[in-house]
Amino acid sequence: TGGFSKNCDILQIGAKYEQYEFSIYIKPTQTISEEASKVHGLRMIHDILVRHDESILTVSLSEALVGFYEFLSKFQRKCILTAHNCEFDYPRLMGALDKCFLKEHFRAIILGYSDSLPVIKKNTGKTKKGENKLENIARELQINGDKAHDALYDVIMLDKVLKKLNITTNDLLGSFLSWDDASNKIKFSQNLPNALKELHLLTDCVSIGMRKRMAAANVSYETLEDAYKTSKYAGIVQVLGKDENGAVKVTKAKKILEKIFNYFE
């Protein structure tokens, strides 16, 4: 990507399925950050994308996505896209699909996403920062990582790492995120600032983490206020406590529930 923000440009898409490979470069519409260039070596010089003094053929974002769609379609089955630290990748891909009006096309062929990072982390037992970076794991396994941060090579490298660690498809399904769940997570992330702004009156009453949980459960300040006016403490418990199936919606902690009740009292 051209940076690390959620609206940065995608510069390359790389994918692999069995012996089939796909790679395409995209002409950026924004400035590539120096920090990102230091990682992948891509820069714009005189309106040409360059990596280590070598010019690269680019296409528009929509052309690249159509090409990627055609690549995935050839397998005639729905797929799960797997990436290392997929939490970074899938929101940017889905944002690009939205921008190019291709979301419904891809929804028809993508079941969802899988993140190899937590799976590899569990396999290796490594927990320190940076230890589970793909190139670091590859180096330890004596897999060549000289071309790391080229999208296609990263996919090839990941495939080799997974095989060396005996990580199976079923293992990767442990981190599966469906298309709809991914869409909902993105929507939640986009709406979170407004939701937290609405709940800011409870700042002295509950933690930021608890307010985020309220936002995730679609509990607004107005909802809590109405519940209090209608049923006092029982209303607060009903909104935040267990649902009809016994699952906790936000919290069942008596101390927190009482704090919120006392605030409205």
42-56, 92-106, 191-205: which is most confident: 92-106
Query: DSSP class of residue 8?
Result: P
Does the pLDDT of residue 12 top 90, yes or no? yes
32-41, 108-117, 232-241: which is most confident: 108-117
Based on its alpha-carbon atoms, the radius of gyration of the chain, rounded to whole angstroms, reads 23
Q: Please report how many Cα atoms fall inside a 13 Å half-sphere around the Cα of residue 42, on the Cβ side.
A: 27
Query: 131-175: per-residue pLDDT in tens?
Result: 899 999 999 999 988 888 899 999 999 999 999 999 999 999 999
- Domains of the chain (ranges; CATH) run 12-184 (3.30.420.10), 199-264 (no CATH)
What is the pLDDT at residue 1? Answer: 92
Does the pLDDT of residue 201 top 80, yes or no? yes
User: pTM (2 decimals)?
Assistant: 0.80
Does the pLDDT of residue 27 top 90, yes or no? yes
d(CA 174, CA 9): 29
What is the pLDDT at residue 153? Answer: 94
